[in-house]
Amino acid sequence: MSGEPSAGRRFWHPSLVVGLAGAGFFVLLGLVSLVWTPYPIAAIDIAGRFAGPGPAHWLGTDIFGRDLLSLVMAGTMTSFLVAAAATAIGMAAGVPLGLAAASWGGPVEWLVLRLSDFLFAFPALIVAVLLSTLFGPGAANAMIAVGLFNIPVFARVARGGALGLRNRDFVAAARLAGLGHGAIAIRHLLPNIASLLIVQATIQLSLGILAEAGLSYVGLGTQPPATSLGLMLKDAQSLFLLHPWLAVVPGLAIVLIVVCLNLAGDGLSDHLDPRLRRLGAPRVAA
Amino acid sequence: MRRVSLLDVHDLTVSLGGRALIENVGFSVARGERFGLIGESGSGKTMTALAIAGLLPAGAAASGQVLFDGTPMPRAEAALARFRGKRIGMVFQEPMTALNPLMRAGAQIAEAIALNRAEIHDHRSVIALLREVGLEPRHARRYPHQLSGGQRQRVMIAMALASEPDLLIADEPTSALDLVAQRTILELIAGICDRRGTALLFISHDLRAVAALCTRVMVIRGGRVIEEGLTPHVFGQPRHPYTQRLVAAARPDPRPPGARPTGETLLEVRRLTRRFSQPGPLLLPGAAFVAVSEVSFSLAAGESVGLVGPSGCGKTTLARMVVGLDRASAGDMVFDGTTHRGSDLPQALRRDLSLVFQDPFGSFDPRLTVGDSIAQPLRLLPALSEAERHRRLVDSVEVVGLSRDVLERLPHEFSGGQRQRLAIARALVTRPRLVVLDEPVSALDLSIRGEVLELLARLRVDFGLAYLLISHDLEIVGHVCDRVLVMDKGEIVEAGPPVELFAAPKHELTRALLDARLPPV
């Protein structure tokens, strides 16, 4: 403990490296699927179904003889796309709301907090059920459902971070310089809470992947012939006792992605935590 | 023949991340002796204390020897903790963060007793400790936020005394307190050491506090010992130039020539009041807290007015209203002929007013370059061309004695004194007529204070500035101001030129403030 040099600030946190590398690998896998997969994911080959892993099909084939590796690649892409879009929706709407709440305070803050309470009260699943009843199931609706769920999360993180900064002297100095609340929020508050938001985004990304899997599993997310990891799990469910491998592959992919993203989030928050950073700063030696 | 001293430090070297913070520091403290460690920010004085107590931050490597009562400190963590708890008491600088905000004061003292004495603590010893540090039994029921800064520091001292330590380490115990509280805490520490025969390691940048308390002192700078000896010798005939500088800075220098006020009224404050609503029982609004109560005064162009008072008397609230950061609940202000109530100060007038904040570390956005921060108030002068803006920027940093290349750098690259210069540069960039200075030097080391005050005096002459200087330190105010207002509990209780006020104080607070001044070294 004390033997470890804290000059290690220059090195990256190990869980950050592992997490980012793992998550990066899956993102790459998904991106490759856009231009190339070993087999087309819609190529049905009933004769070759339930093949185990082998040289022709690295991860084997499913009930319709589709190549499992190709499906995992495409499914990862869908999962990431849904989770990333949902995170983007959450940030785009939540961060401005949170900053506005912290900057203006009073009735604005009350409104934002009540709105986020309201959104919190509806889990993504309920929203997805609602949306698919109205507009039919699909990946886009899953994005919106999970995205709505992300809005209050980001609003709260942004507000919390900004509240800590609001009473700092440099914010008062900016007000004396004639900047309005909005300008202060963009110029001073947002850059200073960016690291908090990045960490939260990583965590929401992993939750989004889980949520997408859950929605697809109950049939409210991605629809065939497109595929996602959750959809693959759903297809494998009825065959689980006969062919457990079909469920293990997408299940393991989900677990690995989520673990990697959480590791990356943990590592990032350690990496960016100003309290740890301050150790090396001259103020400690005062 | 060496007598066995209580604390013996030999060749202590501490490094963090490959950088040596203290190097080959050695000294000894005899039983019952009061030893002072003097150094400025970053000199390694706190590190020395932490190394002695075995509380170095993770990652710091220490070498050398620390002997306590002739034996080395235990190595094992648990034994060290037990040893530290029994033999060493520590008092830190910031009592608000050193106390647990969710525990009553009495419970925290009781915990310190329970941890350090094997027998079960009883209520009486908590009370006895409270009495010893000058608090009353009723204070045991209070939470830290319900105590004043001085009272919190007393609770800290009571906790440090709970184990009846042989050595009391006090690390800048008074620098977060106002003058009156500082004086009483110093007297309290001196009294305790005399009564109990406890040795004291007193760490401070304030030569006067050290001189008042300690019999022997050591000066360190950049982690190295500069000078050591008996207090009257070191302060009377300092050998090292650095010590000579420190001693000179601690002696009040004659008043620098100030600009004469022009007589024309620049700011008039009329029955200004600021109330803060407080939550009462059962969600009902409670009685409002009156921070500033019907304050009236006026300030002429070019005049320098000091506002003095203890912590929490409403000085800062008043300043925030004057510069337009806060809105008055009642009353108004006339600035340059325009009546306003604070935050409704017209945009066109804001260029004539600026504020220098107390904490030079919090007043710059850590993510903006210093140049960007200083240029911000120039938004109030939209008519300036790009070239003129740049000139203003360069002028303002050069006028405070810094070179123009600092503009590209980030705030964390500067020391406290340099940041305060930059804060003054930012306050001057719009060429204001009134600068409000909120404790402009209290966060700075003593040796830099003189420089900054001199700078302020020079700028006032050069630019014909009017100052409203807020401070709890009468001496600083006496040097810079033409007139002094004494404030207590939101009201101005006495006013007058510093010479008259100091010669014949009428209000008891003024007298208390005057009495609290430490004797010069």
Task: Select the residue from B376, B429, B435 to test the A interface by mutation, using most A Cβ atoms within 10 A.
Answer: B376
Between vectors from CA B357 to CA B353 and to CA B361, what angle results, nearest 5°? 145
Note whether B61 contacts A284, CB cutoff 8 Å: no
pLDDT of residue B53: 83
Based on the domain organization, do B193 and B111 belong to the same domain?
yes
Residue ending a domain, among B186, B217, B249, is B249
Among A11, A176, A278, which would you mutate to test the B interface (most chain B Cβ atoms within 10 Å of its Cβ)?
Answer: A176
pLDDT at B56: 81
> Does residue B153 lie in a domain region?
yes
At residue A123, the pLDDT reads 76
Chain A residue whose CA is closest to B353: A176
Q: Is residue B400 part of a domain?
A: no
Residues of B whose CB is below 8 A from A285: 16, 21, 42-44, 46-47
* B406: in domain: no
Convert chain A into a string of H (helix), E (strand) and C (coil). CCCCCHHHHCCCCHHHHHHHHHHHHHHHHHHHHHHCCCCCCCCCCHHHCCCCCCCCCCCCECCCCCEHHHHHHHHHHHHHHHHHHHHHHHHHHHHHHHHHHHHHCHHHHHHHHHHHHHHHCCCHHHHHHHHHHHHCCCHHHHHHHHHHHHHHHHHHHHHHHHHHHHCCHHHHHHHHCCCCHHHHHHHHHHHHHHHHHHHHHHHHHHHHHHHHHHHHHCCCCCCCCCCCHHHHHHHHHCCCCCCCHHHHHHHHHHHHHHHHHHHHHHHHHHHHCHHHHHHHCHHHHC
Can you list the residues of chain B whose pLDDT is less than 50? 1-2
In a domain, B162, yes or no: yes
Of the residues B222, B249, B276, the one at which a domain ends: B249
- Contact list in B for residue A286 (CB cut-off 8 A) is 41-42, 46
Task: Give B-chain residues touching A172 at CB under 8 angstroms.
Answer: 320, 325, 355, 357, 363
Mutate to test the interface with B, among A170, A187, A270, A275 (most CBs of B within 10 A): A170
In percent, how much of chain A has pLDDT > 70?
91
Q: Are residues B269 and B245 located together in one domain of the fold?
A: no
From B18, which residue of chain A is nearest by alpha-carbon distance?
A: A7
Full domain range(s) for residue B145: 5-249
Does B177 lie in the same domain as B296?
no
Whether residues B140 and B241 fall in one domain: yes
Distance (Å) from the C-alpha of residue A191 to the closest C-alpha of chain B?
A: 7
Contacts of residue A187 in chain B, CB cutoff 8 Å? 365, 368
The shortest C-alpha distance from B426 to chain A (Å) reads 9
Binary contact (A179, B61; C-beta < 8 A): no
DSSP, residue by residue, B5-21? PSEEEEEEEEEETTEEE
ipTM above 0.85, yes or no: no
Does residue B185 share a domain with residue B41? Answer: yes
The pTM for the full model equals 0.78
Looking at the fold, whether B207 and B270 belong to one and the same domain comes out as no
Q: Do both B217 and B117 map to the same domain?
A: yes
The helix/strand/coil state of B402 is coil
Q: Minimal Cα–Cα distance from A104 to chain B, Å?
A: 14
Residues 6+ apart with CB under 8 A from B237: none
Per-residue pLDDT at A99: 93
Residue A10 identity (one-letter amino acid): R
pLDDT of residue A278: 42
Looking at residue B259, its pLDDT comes to 53
Query: Quick check: is B463 in a domain?
Result: yes
Reported as a single tens digit per residue, the pLDDT across A130-187 is 887 888 778 888 888 888 889 999 999 999 999 988 888 899 889 888 888 888 998 8
Q: Which comes out higher in pLDDT, residue A47 or A88?
A: A88
**Whether residue B195 sits in one domain with residue B91:** yes
**pLDDT band of A281, cuts 50, 70, 90:** very low
Q: How many CB atoms lie within 10 A of CB B379?
A: 18
Residue B423 domain flag: no
Residue-level pLDDT at B123: 59
Question: CATH number for the domain including B337?
Answer: 3.40.50.300
**What average pLDDT score do residues A261-270 get?**
84
Q: Whose CA is closest to B109, among B94, B93, B128?
A: B128
The predicted pLDDT at position B71 comes to 83
- The alpha-carbon gap from A117 to the nearest alpha carbon of chain B, in Å, equals 21
Shortest alpha-carbon distance between residue A227 and chain B (Å): 44
Q: How much is the CA Rg of chain B, to the nearest whole Å? A: 25
Do residues B192 and B300 share a domain?
no
State pLDDT tens for residues A71-118. Answer: 888 888 888 899 999 999 999 999 999 999 998 888 888 999 998 888
Q: Is B213 among the domain residues?
A: yes
Question: Are the beta carbons of A283 and B361 separated by less than 8 Å?
Answer: yes
B278 & B228 share domain: no
Using CB atoms, which residue from B42, B363, B380 is nearest to A285? B42
Please tell me the predicted confidence (pLDDT) of residue B118.
54
Residues B174, B85 within the same domain: yes
Q: Which of residues 175-204 of A touch B (CB under 8 A)?
A: 175-179, 187-188, 191-192
Tell me, what's the pLDDT at B36? 92
B183/B314 same-domain check? no
Say whether pLDDT at A229 is over 50: yes
State how many domains chain B has: 2
Name B406's Cβ contacts closer than 8 Å, sequence gap at least 6: B370, B371, B397, B414, B418, B422
Q: Which of B220, B249, B278 delimits the end of a domain?
A: B249
Q: Tell whether B103 is covered by a domain.
A: yes
Measured between CA atoms, the residue of chain B closest to residue A9 is B17
CB neighbours of A40 closer than 8 A, spacing ≥ 6?
A70
Contact assignment for A280 to B17 by CB distance below 8 Å: yes
Residues of B with CB under 8 A from a CB of A: 16-18, 21, 41-44, 46-47, 56-61, 320, 323-325, 347, 350, 353-355, 357-359, 361-368, 373, 376-380, 412, 415, 426
Among candidates A4, A9, A176 on the partner chain, residue whose Cβ is nearest the Cβ of B325 = A176
B315, B340 Cβ separation under 8 angstroms:
no
Q: Closest chain A residue to B324 measured between Cα atoms? A: A176
The predicted pLDDT at position B444 comes to: 79
